[in-house]
Amino acid sequence: MVLILLGPPGVGKGTQAVRLADDLGGAHVSTGDLLRAARRDGTELGARAQKYMDAGELVPDQLILDLVREHLAGIDPGAHVLFDGFPRTTTQATGLSEVLERSGRRVDRVVLFEAPDETIVKRLSGRRSCPECGAVYNTFFSPSRVEGKCDRCGGSLVQRPDDAPATVQRRLEVYRDQTAPLVSFYEQAGAPFERIRADRSVDDVYADFRSAMEVAG
Ligand code: AP5
């Protein structure tokens, strides 16, 4: 199954994708995580992406499509693939369809996670993550046992620079202008589409997400 998780920044796509990938055994492909890894590794792509990410703007489509193509080449063609934060523009969505077609696949399901801006802003202001193992916490909703330290590996937790309030506002605008049009793109394309109210507990959101996958078969 090829699944796309759509939704604004901070709505909980990554949190839900990790759970579903654990359950289904599929590959979780987050372009945000791939770009942050490229920055940590000091690659040319990471350096080119940095200014866009720090400003809350989208990284150019061609860079993203090359990154995804290269990443997909390393994934078993029969595996479930959960795209989180990709595609984000209609150019990326068209590019993805072309890549999938070449291997006889297609987008099997699109899930849109929705929450009011106030919820998103609070979640992003409280998000902390572990640069060592990637675990994600929230100072309001799911704090680590020891403040500032990762429960899993003891690493020092950090706040993403793009979670600063002004950048969050810009990311929300960019979402509305450039990514929200994908809702009608996929609805018109006839892809099975689900909307999930994400302003509830992680477990409640996951219960709906999981049952949407069962419907998908
Ligand atoms: P990316 O990393 O993809 O960021 P995003 O889409 O803005 O999404 P987030 O990671 O901020 O949020 P999320 O929805 O995954 O929420 P999470 O589960 O962490 O992209 C970053 C940047 O990279 C972009 O701005 C752009 O520059 C670039 N980029 C990436 N992909 C690109 C692309 N395809 N094209 C162009 N540019 C691209 O949850 C957030 C917090 O809330 C956490 O603390 C979590 O613990 C908590 N939480 C989650 N669910 C709940 C809940 N139900 N209740 C309470 N707390 C919750």
- Give, in order, the Cα–Cα distances in Å from 66 to each of 35, 78, 211: 12, 21, 33
114 burial level (CB within 10 Å; 0-12, 13-18, 19+): middle
Annotation says 171 is catalytic: yes
Q: What is the pLDDT of residues 145-200, one digit of tens each?
A: 999 999 999 999 999 999 999 999 999 999 999 999 999 999 999 889 999 999 99
State mean pLDDT over 64-81. 94
Pocket test for ligand 1, best of 18, 40, 59 (most atoms within 8 A of CB): 59
Cβ–ligand 1 contact at 127 (below 6 Å) = yes
What pLDDT shows up at residue 54?
Answer: 95
pTM metric for this prediction: 0.95
Could you tell me the domains of the chain? 2-116+179-216 (3.40.50.300)
Annotation says 109 is catalytic: no
Angle between helix 182-189 and helix 90-102 axes, rounded to 10 deg: 40
Spatial contact of 198 and 115, defined as CB atoms under 8 Å apart = yes
Res. 217: pLDDT tops 90: no
Annotation says 88 is catalytic: yes
What pLDDT shows up at residue 214?
Answer: 78
What pLDDT shows up at residue 77?
Answer: 87
